[in-house]
Amino acid sequence: MGKTYIISESQVSKILYEQGFKTIVDKVKGVFNNTSCSTQDTRKTKSWKQLYDLLVKMEKIEDGEPLIVIWGPNQTLYYTSDGNSVVKVMKVSTGQDGFGNTTGSRVTNEGLMEVSGKIRAPKTYQVLVNKKPIDSVLGSNKLSTRKDDEGKVHQAEVLTGILELTGLEPCNLNVYSRGVYIHGTNIERSLGRKASNGCIRVSNQNILYLLNTIKEDTKVYVKP
């Protein structure tokens, strides 16, 4: 009868590391501790194209599929329909406190997501509250005076339309429940710098473009 050996989790990890399976171990651990995120691997990419090619190599996306890239360092959105050329470039404004996936914070989720829904207001520049239009229309740089039930004034509003996001990685599965999405804004002058409460702001003309062009299930990658 053969011998039975009992080994600990740390010993298993050590054996796998020694056999060259460090990446596998890290990814498996990430599934259980809910922190695994591909941004650890994509952080050193220098361009949207380099990022796209790496995501294909990592089997995060298929070669030739459309992709929206939110490039944090220069606060720019790049949309490619095939991975070969950029169809649209636009300035964005992401979370004023940076990037991350912490609930209850003013950071923008990072990593791979997808467009899971599209919402359009009846009028351009119309305000959306809780994703529903209200009887208020603002200009591109006109502060709101709306007060919520607690008396708080909301100077920054969601305007014109929304692209809802759903997380595709363990680290960003809370992006939908956090209410982080791409939307038009009444503070277009802030585009090009971090200024939002976590959402990804774009101009009202650009959210119309995205609503008319982007299909649901289109992948979105936020690189911090």
What is the Cα–Cα distance from 212 to 199, expressed in whole angstroms?
Answer: 20
Mean pLDDT within 185-197: 97
Secondary structure class of 17 (helix, strand, coil): helix
Task: Determine whether 206 is exposed, middle or buried from the number of CB atoms within 10 Å of its CB (0-12, 13-18, 19+).
Answer: buried
Per-residue burial over 13-48, b if 16 or more Cβ lie within 10 Å, else e, is beeeeeeeeeeebeeeebeeeeebbbbebbeebeeb
pLDDT digits (tens, 9 = 90+) for 35-79: 689 999 999 999 999 999 999 999 999 999 999 999 999 999 999
What is the Cα–Cα distance from 161 to 118, expressed in whole angstroms?
Answer: 8
Instruction: Among 2.40.440.10, 2.30.29.30, 2.40.400.10, 2.40.50.100, name the CATH number for the domain at 35-223.
Output: 2.40.440.10
What is the Cα–Cα distance from 49 to 34, expressed in whole angstroms?
Answer: 28
Q: For the ranges 56-60, 114-118, 119-123, 143-147, which has the lowest average pLDDT?
A: 143-147
Res 143: pLDDT: 93
**Residue 54: Cβ within 10 Å count:** 16
Indicate the domain borders of the chain.
35-223
Do 173 and 35 touch, CB atoms closer than 8 A?
Answer: no
Secondary structure class of 81 (helix, strand, coil): coil
Task: Determine whether 180 is exposed, middle or buried from the number of CB atoms within 10 Å of its CB (0-12, 13-18, 19+).
Answer: buried
Res 29: pLDDT: 39
pLDDT at residue 120 above 60? Answer: yes
The pTM for the full model equals 0.84
Backbone angles phi, psi at 25, to 5 degrees: -60, -45
Please, what is the average pLDDT of the chain? 89
pLDDT at residue 24 above 60? Answer: no
- Nearest residue to 98 via CA among 110, 90, 89, 86: 110
